[in-house]
Amino acid sequence: MSSLRFGLGTRGVRRGLAGVSLLVALGAVGHAHADANADSERANLLFKKGKVAFNAGKYTDALRIYGEAWSLKKSPDIAANLAQTESELGKHRDAAEHYAYALAHLLPSSTDEQKQALAEGLDDEKKEIGSLRVTLEPAESTLTIDDAAVALPTNGEVFVEPGEHRASVALDGYEPNQQTVRVSKGAEQVLWIKLQRVGAVAAPPPDAEHPRPTEPVTEPPEPSETSGRSLVPAIVGGGLFVAGTAVGVAFLLSGNSSQNDANALFDKHPESNACGTGTPYVDDCNALKAKNKDVDSARTIEVIGFSVAGAAAVGTAVYLLWPHSSGSAASRWSPTFAVAPGAGSLGLTGRF
pLDDT band at 32 (very low <50, low <70, confident <90, very high): very low
CATH code linked to domain 6-126: 1.25.40.10
Task: State how far the Cα of 20 lies from the Cα of 341, in Å rounded to an integer.
Answer: 86
More confident residue, 54 or 255: 54
Can you tell me the mean pLDDT for 121-144?
93
pLDDT digits (tens, 9 = 90+) for 274-328: 676 667 777 777 877 787 888 788 788 878 878 887 887 887 777 777 765 444 4
pLDDT digits (tens, 9 = 90+) for 320-336: 777 654 444 444 444 55
Can you tell me the mean pLDDT for 129-135?
93
Domain 130-197 sits in CATH 3.90.1150.10: no
pLDDT band at 85 (very low <50, low <70, confident <90, very high): very high
Q: Looking at residue 151, what is its pLDDT?
A: 86
CA atoms within 13 A on the CB side of 314: 11
Task: State how far the Cα of 269 lies from the Cα of 116, in Å rounded to an integer.
Answer: 95
Q: Looking at residue 269, what is its pLDDT?
A: 66
Can you tell me the mean pLDDT for 50-69?
95
**DSSP annotation string for 61-104:** HHHHHHHHHHHH---HHHHHHHHHHHHHTT-HHHHHHHHHHHHH
Can you tell me the mean pLDDT for 27-42?
62
Q: Do β-strands 188-194 and 177-183 pair in parallel, antiparallel, or remain unpaired?
A: unpaired
pLDDT digits (tens, 9 = 90+) for 70-83: 999 999 999 999 99
pLDDT digits (tens, 9 = 90+) for 194-238: 999 998 765 555 554 455 554 554 555 554 444 456 777 778 878
Residue closest to 162 by CA, chosen among 135, 141, 189, 138: 189
Q: Looking at residue 213, what is its pLDDT?
A: 53
CB 51 within 8 A of CB 23: yes
Q: Looking at residue 154, what is its pLDDT?
A: 83
Q: Looking at residue 14, what is its pLDDT?
A: 46
Q: Looking at residue 227, what is its pLDDT?
A: 47
Q: Looking at residue 9, what is its pLDDT?
A: 36
